[in-house]
Structure 1
Amino acid sequence: MRGRTIRLRLTLLYAGAFFIAGAILVALMYFYLDQSLDRRYGVGAQRLVREYLTKRNRPIVSEELYAALTAQAAKERRDTLEAMLVWSLVSLGAIGIAAGGLGWLLAGRVLNPLQQITATARRVADRSLHERIDLTGPDDEIKDLADTFDAMLERLDRAFDGQRRFVANASHELRTPLTINRTLIEVALDDPDAPESTRRLGATLLEVNHRHERLIDGLLVLASSEPRLIERSRVDLAEIARRVVAVADQAGIEIRADLAAAPVSGDPVLLERLAQNLADNAIRYNVGESGWVAIRSASTAGSAQLIVENTGPVVPAFEVDGLFEPFRRLASGERVAESAHTPNSRGAGLGLSIVRSVANAHGGEVRATARPEGGLTVIVSIPNEKAGGTR
């Protein structure tokens, strides 16, 4: 319930405290007035009147008249108490309502710095870590909280900058020697006088080199997709899936495509890598005969979905979540079909980890369920409320 905010709770606490204090004050005033009227119009006062008249040798009025005067005095006492109680309660209610409105305004003023902190945190989470709260005002608890939050953002900003620099440097330093190795091996294999044993060794080394290149590439993509995206553009998941399907058809397995428009706002390169990894994983862990891979895209209220379903070995339900962890592979399943991008190579165990990381970077989520007949159904949901253009 949106109305149950801290501001509302503070207002209710303020108004409740005021009503309790007012009720206590009314009760004390009522008790004091009751005692005062009792001393003035009660039995003690009547006895004093009798004694006064007796000392003055005044004749005592008849008992009927005296009883009437006593009843009239008691009635006036009760009326006075009731009038005081009614007007006190009415005044308490009216002033209490005014106090509630004043408490609402005061609570809003007190919580305004917290709203500023929340708004900044949301902008930082959606865009970048370069913005700061920079709250001005007295050195109280709220300003101390804002300064602490700014210090945390500063440390996170430096950490992410260091990560980006590491990814950029590692991208060059790690790929360069592998590229040199691949080139040297290919040059050696191009020698027509190379013996057959050398060619077999070269093919094995090329396969190992290719696997290392894929592993490094996966690690770099995983590292670069962890933070939230800064730059976004309009992307249609259906268009990305069509390109992936066109390449996956070369794997020699049936591809079933049902692609509807699914626009999102995100990074086209990372989203294409997400779709490619899902397709590669579905092809890699499939059945040898009568296997198929179904790729669907759809747009629902608030999100766009990419759904990849495949046949394959039976996956225990307790192993599904673990498949999204880095370097985790299905324990009972080996590759029985080949992806067009990764022929004759075993996966590095990063495919689904990269899928989850890219989805999280776009503010989405990934869900996977095991099919009773074997294989998986993987659903990627990405919010599409900001798919109207580039930001």
Structure 2
Amino acid sequence: MTIRARLTLVYGGLFLAAGIVLLGVTYVLVSARLSGQRVTSFTRSPTTPPDVVFTEAPEPGGILKEGQFIQNAQQDVLGSLLTQGSVALVVVGAASVAFGWLLAGRLLQPLHRMTETARRIAEAPAADRGLHERIALSGPNDEVKQLADTFDVMLERLDHSFDGQRRFIANASHELRTPLTLNRALLEVAVHRRNASSEVLQLGETLLEINARHERLIDGLLMLARTEPEVVDASFVDLADIVEHVCARLPQGPVTVRTEAGEAPTSGDPVLLERLVQNLVENGVRHNVPEGGRLHVATRTLPDGSASLVVSNTGPVVPRYEVPSLFEPFRRLNAQRLASPGAGLGLSIVRSTARAHNGDVRAEPREGGGLTVTVTLPCGPAS
């Protein structure tokens, strides 16, 4: 039972209980008052008609009349008091219940406003998407307003915390890029020297590979920091063009890539969407079987107008319970962090980019091994 219904029952129950007590007290007082009155003795003369009732004794020496008529009148008064009082109590009680329902709704309106704000924040596609909202409740400084103000302060601190985290990741990534670029340049100079020994060449290639992995990690962190907020400057994009462009740049390898680039118009940032497709395609190629691997990339427009991108590949068997963890940063399937060639941010960037475009991404294991990743984005403007 809701708080509004409980408050209404409390209001109505208290009113009815008070009304019943008041009616009972009134009945007792009136009954005691009537019972305490002295019944007047009536006398009548022999010539007085028997149907005449006297309120006073007309003459002394007459016969005594019982006060049965007055007692009956008293009982009628008490009966009318109970009957009419009960009817009035029921009518006024129903009105009080209706009024209590309206009053409870009015009093609980600020709580409904707080609940709606909290629900919008909780249902936001990204964890920090709705933290900029505030309740900003106006009115007297009562307990409800103090609760709303405290909730606003909490939201403000969380918003600042998420903003600070994004700025820290972006600044740290930019600061780490400079020494990595310098290291790569020095290693390339050392490796390409004419008198470099085989040991130096082997060590240089290993360090260059480690440096390249660190650069991919930094680029992934920058991409995550960039794609957290919602895309503001969106333009018309066809996912089919992006798929054809990305797949055309893939080097020849043991994985057979097949594309079905149907029209899939959407609206968003072309650079971010290209990175989304590139991450899915590269993951499909990297996490595949050593020989005879296949990768299928398809785009199409769904019946509701949304743009769909499906990337399916062969590869190792993926347990269904491990699929959600693959979208977390630095999480890989049955791979050590240092042994994996990737940075562990590919699918995390895909999810963040899809959410930034108000889209969705989901993955399903394939029978026999591999994964099928489906990205759904809102329909774009008419071209």
The separation in 2 between residues aligned to 1:358 and 1:158, in whole angstroms, is 22
Given the alignment of the two structures, is residue 314 of structure 1 paired with residue 330 of structure 2, yes or no? no
8 Å Cα contact 1:232/1:266 also seen in 2: yes
The separation in 1 between residues aligned to 2:252 and 2:174, in whole angstroms, is 31
Find 1:178's aligned residue among 154, 177, 180.
180
Given the alignment of the two structures, is residue 369 of structure 1 paired with residue 364 of structure 2, yes or no? yes
Residues 1:60 and 1:331: Cα distance change in structure 2 (over 3 Å): same
Taking the TM superposition and a 5 Å limit, the aligned residue runs for 1:24-63 are 24-39=17-32, 49=39, 52-53=41-42, 59-61=63-65
TM-score, structure 2 normalization: 0.72
Matched residue SS, 1:184: helix
Counterpart amino acid of 1:327?
A: F
Bigger CA radius of gyration: 2
Counterpart amino acid of 2:208?
A: L
Residues 1:303 and 1:192: Cα distance change in structure 2 (over 3 Å): same
Find 2:242's aligned residue among 230, 240, 243.
240
Return the structure number with greater helix share.
Answer: 1
Taking the TM superposition and a 5 Å limit, the aligned residue runs for 1:71-110 are 74-75=75-76, 77-108=78-109, 110=110
Aligned length: 359
Structure 2 residue ranges without an equivalent (≥5): 44-56
* Structure 1 residue 75 displacement after superposition: 4.5
8 Å Cα contact 2:121/2:130 also seen in 1: no
Find 1:380's aligned residue among 339, 359, 375.
375
* Structure 1 residue 105 displacement after superposition: 3.9
Instruction: Name 1:144's counterpart in structure 2.
Output: 146
8 Å Cα contact 2:16/2:89 also seen in 1: no
Residues 1:315 and 1:134: Cα distance change in structure 2 (over 3 Å): closer
Counterpart amino acid of 1:88?
A: L
RMSD: 4.3
* Structure 1 residue 26 displacement after superposition: 2.5
* Structure 1 residue 228 displacement after superposition: 2.9
Residues 1:97 and 1:299: Cα distance change in structure 2 (over 3 Å): same
Matched residue SS, 1:308: strand
* Structure 1 residue 20 displacement after superposition: 1.5
The separation in 1 between residues aligned to 2:114 and 2:321, in whole angstroms, is 42
Counterpart amino acid of 1:23?
A: L
Instruction: Name 1:16's counterpart in structure 2.
Output: 9
Counterpart amino acid of 1:293?
A: L
8 Å Cα contact 1:365/1:381 also seen in 2: yes
* Structure 1 residue 351 displacement after superposition: 1.9
The separation in 2 between residues aligned to 1:375 and 1:249, in whole angstroms, is 21
Q: Alpha-carbon deviations, 1:207-264, whole Å to 9, x = none?
A: 3332222222223323444x43363414544443343333347445333334455555
The separation in 2 between residues aligned to 1:159 and 1:265, in whole angstroms, is 30
Residues 1:294 and 1:192: Cα distance change in structure 2 (over 3 Å): same
The higher relative CO (CA closer than 8 Å, separation ≥ 6) is in 1
Residues 1:28 and 1:136: Cα distance change in structure 2 (over 3 Å): closer
The separation in 2 between residues aligned to 1:22 and 1:128, in whole angstroms, is 44
Q: Alpha-carbon deviations, 1:338-382, whole Å to 9, x = none?
A: xxxxxxx82233322333343444555543332231111223345
Counterpart amino acid of 2:15?
A: G
Instruction: Name 2:50's counterpart in structure 1.
Output: none
Given the alignment of the two structures, is residue 291 of structure 1 paired with residue 284 of structure 2, yes or no? no
The separation in 2 between residues aligned to 1:82 and 1:88, in whole angstroms, is 10
Matched residue SS, 2:310: strand
Taking the TM superposition and a 5 Å limit, the aligned residue runs for 1:214-293 are 214-225=216-227, 227-229=228-230, 231-234=232-235, 235-248=237-250, 250-262=252-264, 266-293=268-295
Identity across the alignment (%): 43
Q: Alpha-carbon deviations, 1:78-131, whole Å to 9, x = none?
A: 2342122112322332354344334444544x55874896699699954774x7
Matched residue SS, 1:287: coil
8 Å Cα contact 2:309/2:376 also seen in 1: yes
Deviates more, 1:363-372 or 1:119-128: 119-128
* Structure 1 residue 281 displacement after superposition: 1.2
The separation in 2 between residues aligned to 1:236 and 1:60, in whole angstroms, is 113
The separation in 2 between residues aligned to 1:375 and 1:174, in whole angstroms, is 34
Residues 1:157 and 1:375: Cα distance change in structure 2 (over 3 Å): same
The separation in 2 between residues aligned to 1:34 and 1:148, in whole angstroms, is 53
The separation in 1 between residues aligned to 2:208 and 2:360, in whole angstroms, is 36
The separation in 1 between residues aligned to 2:27 and 2:144, in whole angstroms, is 48
Structure 1 residue ranges without an equivalent (≥5): 334-344
Residues 1:19 and 1:58: Cα distance change in structure 2 (over 3 Å): farther
Given the alignment of the two structures, is residue 330 of structure 1 paired with residue 333 of structure 2, yes or no? yes
Residues 1:59 and 1:329: Cα distance change in structure 2 (over 3 Å): same
8 Å Cα contact 2:259/2:297 also seen in 1: yes
Deviates more, 1:119-128 or 1:276-285: 119-128
